[in-house]
């Protein structure tokens, strides 16, 4: 079992729909959770950064972390064609940076106009 599991998709939804993306993980030492968006042949772009459990909202994006279930989610409201990209979840422990980030495989999202 990989440390971080993420459905690669593709996930195709109509414009304006609410998108739900999620990851599960096995390492209980993870404390920092991130979501990145990656367009083809580009580097990942940080969308959301959260510490421990709880919710965080930023514009059309909401990140949720449930450490008891080892489950994190990203919701995108009012989805736009420009949201079409690969979404990567990433997480790390409290190793001061030396543990790096552990990523999921990424979910390929397609927003149909």
Partner 1 sequence: DTGVSQDPRHKITKRGQNVTFRCDPISEHNRLYWYRQTLGQGPEFLTYFQNEAQLEKSRLLSDRFSAERPKGSFSTLEIQRTEQGDSAMYLCASTPPKKGGYTFGSGTRLTVV
Residue 83 Cβ vs partner 1, minimum distance, rounded to whole Å: 19
Nearest to 113 by CA among 2, 17, 47: 17
Cβ proximity to partner 1: between 66 and 99 the closer is 99
Nearer to partner 1, 74 or 88 (CB): 88
Smaller CB separation from partner 1, 32 or 61 = 32
Q: Smallest gap, in angstroms, from Cβ of residue 99 to partner 1?
A: 8
Beta strands in 1-113 (DSSP E): 4-5, 11-14, 19-25, 32-38, 45-51, 54-58, 61-66, 71-76, 85-92, 102-103, 107-112
Q: Which residues are at the interface with partner 1 (CB under 8 A)?
A: 4, 6, 8, 32, 34, 36, 41-46, 49, 51, 88, 90, 97-106
Residue 65 and residue 90 in contact, taking contact as beta carbons nearer than 8 Å: no
């Amino acid at each position: 079992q990989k440390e971080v599991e993420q459905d690669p998709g593709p996930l195709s939804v109509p414009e304006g729909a609410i998108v739900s993306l999620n990851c599960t993980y096995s390492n209980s030492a993870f404390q920092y959770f991130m979501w990145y968006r990656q367009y083809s042949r580009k580097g990942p772009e940080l969308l959301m950064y959260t510490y421990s459990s709880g919710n965080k909202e930023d514009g059309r994006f909401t990140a949720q972390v449930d450490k008891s279930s080892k489950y994190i989610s990203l919701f995108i409201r009012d989805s736009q064609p420009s949201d079409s990209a690969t979404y990567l979840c990433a997480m790390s422990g409290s190793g001061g940076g030396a543990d790096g980030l552990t990523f999921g495989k990424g979910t390929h999202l397609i927003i149909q106009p």
